[in-house]
């Protein structure tokens, strides 16, 4: 009779063998063959179909995160390459929302090569460099599990506006402001400190009970509604949102700056701020988080080296893989 230890070893070996086989099938039939034109987005949409309502989306996002967690820890070189490309595109999109005219390629050259782009303003160059530095800072905060406070938020803002408006960097506004194209009118400047204090009271009361994606979306919306700084509110609020997502193990959500997507983003924010209807904005952010999880899983699932990972992910997709002809 076999010992329990022998049986366990045998079971573990079989599980590892099954994982390797599923991974092999996944890579061969999705990444490397033309016989099955199903792309990864189609596959992921079949395994994790887009839910029609927000409450149903949240457990799905948790499942997708669990799939990503099954690949962790990621290979350091793979992670560095992934984050470099990801963060450059995030900087490009976040600045594009605010009117920065640098292209994605130009943003990369400014950030990675320190180049100066002809015909672009100094501020546009600084916006790219500052945002990239702010991402590094946010990732460091998440890694160190730093407690989120007003001081931390203002520190992020001070990086965003560094060299652009030095007197206003990390400092709440001292004048009344209007938001072009928005129905919402931000509160008067003397109300800002108390309103920001209230936001962080709300955060501390809800951070352990609210789903991380809702927590991140709501904090973004609440800060933008107060519009606490003279400039840099959108970029800083999105960085705050992504800090919260990173703290809970989610990848950065990149809100698109493409015209149609930007309008949808502004409309959802306006609905939350004018009608107290947060769900359209929460759902919009949830969809961006879902997209980010799909993209991360696509990058890590087909390029593994060494010991196989991703058992939970491959368990979910195995029934949906194309059958070998």
Active site residue 227: yes
Catalytic residue (choose from 108, 157, 211, 227): 227
Decide if 66 contacts 230 (C-beta within 8 A). Answer: no
DSSP 144-198: TTPPP-HHHHHHHHHHHTTTTSGGGTTS--SS----TT-S--PPPGGGHHHHHHH
Q: How far apart are CA 52 and CA 211, in angstroms?
A: 18
Q: How far apart are CA 116 and CA 35, in angstroms?
A: 46
**Closest Cα partner for 88 from 115, 107, 63?**
107
Structure-token pair, residue 198: 């209230």
Q: How far apart are CA 22 and CA 25, in angstroms?
A: 5
Q: How far apart are CA 23 and CA 18, in angstroms?
A: 9
Residue whose tokens read 């450059």? 88
Other CB atoms within 10 Å distance of the CB of residue 129 = 17
Cα distances from 269 to residues 11, 236, 266, 283, 310, in angstroms, run 52, 15, 5, 11, 36
Decide if 274 contacts 113 (C-beta within 8 A). Answer: no
Decide if 251 contacts 292 (C-beta within 8 A). Answer: yes
Q: What is the DSSP letter of 168?
A: G
Active site residues: 227
């Amino acid at each position: 009779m076999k010992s329990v230890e022998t049986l366990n070893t045998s079971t573990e070996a079989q599980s590892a063998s099954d994982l390797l086989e599923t991974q092999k099938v996944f890579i061969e039939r999705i990444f490397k063959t033309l016989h099955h034109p199903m792309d990864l987005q189609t596959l992921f949409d079949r395994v994790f179909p887009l839910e029609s309502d927000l409450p149903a989306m949240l457990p799905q996002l948790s499942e997708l995160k669990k799939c990503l967690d099954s690949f962790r820890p990621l290979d350091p070189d793979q992670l560095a390459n992934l984050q470099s490309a990801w963060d450059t595109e995030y900087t490009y999109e976040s600045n594009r929302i605010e009117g920065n005219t640098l292209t994605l390629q130009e943003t990369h050259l400014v950030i990675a090569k320190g180049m100066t782009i002809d015909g672009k303003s100094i501020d546009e160059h600084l916006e790219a460099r500052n945002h990239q530095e702010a991402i590094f800072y946010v990732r460091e905060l998440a890694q160190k599990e730093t407690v989120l406070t007003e001081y931390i938020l203002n520190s992020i803002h001070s990086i965003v506006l560094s060299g652009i408006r030095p007197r206003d960097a990390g400092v709440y506004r001292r004048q009344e402001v209007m938001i072009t194209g928005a129905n919402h009118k931000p509160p008067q400047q003397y109300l800002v400190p108390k309103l920001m204090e209230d936001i962080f009271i709300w955060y501390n009361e809800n951070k352990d009970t609210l789903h991380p994606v809702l927590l991140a979306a709501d904090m973004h919306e609440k800060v933008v509604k107060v519009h606490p700084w003279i400039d840099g509110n959108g970029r800083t609020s999105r960085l705050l949102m992504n800090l919260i997502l990173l703290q809970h193990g989610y990848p950065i959500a990149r809100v698109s700056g493409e015209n149609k997507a930007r309008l949808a983003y502004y409309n959802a924010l306006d609905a939350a701020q004018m009608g107290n209807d947060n769900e359209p904005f929460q759902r919009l952010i949830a969809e961006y988080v879902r997209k980010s999880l799909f993209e991360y899983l696509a990058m890590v699932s087909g390029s593994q080296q060494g010991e196989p990972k991703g058992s939970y992910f491959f368990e979910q997709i195995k029934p949906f893989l194309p059958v070998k002809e």
